[in-house]
Chain A
Amino acid sequence: MTGSSTEVEERCRRIRTRVLERLHAATASHLGTNMSMVEILAAIYTVTDVARISVGASDRDRVVISKGHSAAATYAALEEFGILSTKLMDTYHQSGSLLAGHVSHGVPGVEHSTGALGHGLSVALGMAIAQRSLRQDGRVFCVCGDGEMQEGSVWEALLLWRHLGLSNLVLLVDHNRISSITRTHDVIAMDPPATRFEGLGFIAQTVDGHDVEEIIAAILAALVGDRPTVIVCETVKGKGVSFAEHEPIWHYRSLTDELLVTALKDVAGGMVL
């Protein structure tokens, strides 16, 4: 389904490269969180019916990026899978562009604008309920950050989702262990997160969040499961960029010319991929 592992790695390298280029061009931030979810996005869009998403079919698969500050990676993935044009992607974060620093429903392929955290899972759940009511075959995928799990509204959605037992919805949590200014463990410890979801009655799978094949296998298992599934993706914030990995400051800092050269070399050289 995904092509050879080399092709998958190349795909993720292209997405990372585009993120770095656009973040640098716009002196934009959020490098760390964009880098941590590249493989998650690659896995989701490999599984979904991209052609139906592109034409906006009413019974399409739906992808809700609840951690909206990962806009650059989301847009780069949409570009990689042919949903978003390169011309539009080149305008990221530029004055007059539709491509803001948080995902926006004005952009092709984006189902819902997010940015304030804790909104996406409820909306995704509404979409999954609609698919059930309308007897549609589509699936809904939602990506939350691990820091985002501190928002109470996420747990409202989880409780109802578990109660309804819908398995046409899959939640992937980007567990990069850093929230806004520090490590999640030092703010509200939830390790290991899978136990929290299991406690509510979910199936919780923990996977290597930088292994596309492993994420895809977890998604496919979730879609045929008899209980709702949360996939905890163990990731590294700033993944692939030597000076940014595990560093909270790269939620905020933007790339200088010199650091861009280093970052592109890291990604091209497959530093830790």
Chain B
Amino acid sequence: MKSLSEEMRRDSSIFFITADMGINLVESIQDEFPDRFLNVGIAEQNAIGVAAGLAESGFHPWVYTISNFLVHRCFEQVRNDVALHQLPITLFGTSSGFDNAPLGPTHHIVDDWGMIAGLPNATVYAPATVEFASTLVHRLRGARGLSYLRVAKGAISFPSSSDDALLVGDLRETRRPLVLSYGGVGGRLLEHHDQLAGVNLLILNRLVELPPLAVDALNVEPPWVVVVEDHFSRTGLAAQVALFLAQNGLRTRLLPIAPRYFDTVVGSTASELDARHGLDARTVAAAVDSLVLGHHGAVRQ
């Protein structure tokens, strides 16, 4: 919010809309920019429509609320009023995956960015580290289309992590399995990367388009790519990676690790539900070990 305020001082086209979310976060923007702040109330469809009208009048609106409301509640507005008209609108979604674990499945955000990624010319960011998140405002300067920021709670700090993708490992070691992840789950894998010995760990901050480093990491044709995500794989990164592998004739095998259903069991924390769905470093490490031992099918020689 601080960097957004700084950008609003610099760029008078930014208009901030909240659907009545962001207590103790948005008030300073309201105070400083009363002509460019609007709380539309709990009315997400209207938030997007109003943003479209503002964008057609020359503004670059940022629409802020919890990611599930921002994407699912008003997807037709996002599709018709924003993407179809190629308007410069940024969807600032707070929470991702199981961030709201104890609140139940209506607040689990496991099927959001895949919907946005299905729209032409959309850009999707899922910052894994605070260092990258702090660059987002500047990256969106002059954006000409729809951008979706999938911002996890409690992002970790990791040095030198302000690029689109962050590699722990060495791509010259082409026989290593590649573990690919992003956002909050990616950040937690990054925190525990010591548990993932013998792999190349690549954490993405941007999902659409795939960052060049991700393209490089796939093009070396590792024996396995393990995609770990807090999003259904059918519309998630695993699907993107599968398309990339097939289009480029790569013989890498794919293991998606992702939730497969809406989880109605209460979890106290995101980490707890991550572990239930196999997204934690320990379970991922065990899955990788199984690959190496051939339990998930013979590793290509």
Complex CA distance for A160 and B50, rounded to whole angstroms = 10
Complex CA distance for A258 and B15, rounded to whole angstroms = 55
Write out the residue numbers on chain A whose beta carbons fall within 8 Å of the beta carbon of B50.
122-123, 125-126, 129, 157, 160
Least CB distance from B56 to A in Å reads 6
Contact B36 A125 (CB under 8 A): no
Q: Which of B35, B51, B80 makes the CB contact (< 8 A) with A133?
A: B35
Write out the residue numbers on chain A whose beta carbons fall within 8 Å of the beta carbon of B53.
112, 122-130
Task: Tell me if A113 counts as interface (CB < 8 A to partner B).
Answer: yes
Q: Which residue of A lies closest to B59 (CB)?
A: A130
Contact B81 A119 (CB under 8 A): yes
Known A123-B49, A125-B50; contact A159-B41, beta-carbon cutoff 8 A: yes
Q: Which residue of A lies closest to B15 (CB)?
A: A133
Q: Which of B43, B54, B58, B85 makes the CB contact (< 8 A) with A129?
A: B54
Write out the residue numbers on chain A whose beta carbons fall within 8 Å of the beta carbon of B76.
116, 119
Task: Tell me if A111 counts as interface (CB < 8 A to partner B).
Answer: yes
Q: Which of A125, A132, A159 makes the CB contact (< 8 A) with B49?
A: A125
Task: Tell me if A188 counts as interface (CB < 8 A to partner B).
Answer: no
Least CB distance from A153 to B in Å reads 4
Known A112-B85, A113-B80, A119-B80; contact A126-B49, beta-carbon cutoff 8 A: yes
Least CB distance from B217 to A in Å reads 40
Complex CA distance for A128 and B45, rounded to whole angstroms = 17
Contact A119 B57 (CB under 8 A): no
Known A113-B85, A159-B43; contact A134-B52, beta-carbon cutoff 8 A: no
Least CB distance from A156 to B in Å reads 4
Contact B48 A127 (CB under 8 A): no
Complex CA distance for A133 and B36, rounded to whole angstroms = 7
A-B pairs under 8 A by CB, number: 96
Task: Tell which of B46, B51, B59 has the most Cβ of chain A within 10 Å.
Answer: B46
Write out the residue numbers on chain A whose beta carbons fall within 8 Å of the beta carbon of B80.
113-116, 119
Known A125-B53, A133-B15, A133-B35; contact A119-B77, beta-carbon cutoff 8 A: yes
Q: Which of A113, A122, A130 makes the CB contact (< 8 A) with B77?
A: A122
Chain A: interface size category: 20 to 34
Chain B residues 51-94 with CB under 8 Å of chain A are 51-59, 76-77, 80-81, 84-85
Contact B46 A105 (CB under 8 A): no
Complex CA distance for A98 and B53, rounded to whole angstroms = 22
Task: Tell which of A112, A121, A127, A133 has the most Cβ of chain B within 10 Å.
Answer: A133
Contact A134 B57 (CB under 8 A): yes
Contact A157 B49 (CB under 8 A): yes
Contact A157 B58 (CB under 8 A): no
Least CB distance from A210 to B in Å reads 29
Least CB distance from A5 to B in Å reads 35
Known A124-B53, A126-B57, A130-B57; contact A160-B81, beta-carbon cutoff 8 A: no
Write out the residue numbers on chain B whose beta carbons fall within 8 Å of the beta carbon of A134.
57-58
Task: Tell me if A131 counts as interface (CB < 8 A to partner B).
Answer: yes
14 A–B contacts from the bound complex (CB under 8 Å): A105-B85, A112-B53, A113-B85, A118-B45, A119-B81, A122-B81, A124-B53, A125-B49, A125-B50, A125-B53, A126-B55, A130-B54, A153-B49, A157-B46
**Measuring CB to CB, which residues of chain B are less than 8 angstroms from any residue of chain A?**
15, 35-36, 38, 40-41, 43, 45-46, 48-59, 76-77, 80-81, 84-85
What 8 A-B pairs come out closest when comparing CB atoms?
A126-B53, A122-B49, A130-B57, A156-B46, A156-B43, A126-B50, A127-B53, A153-B45
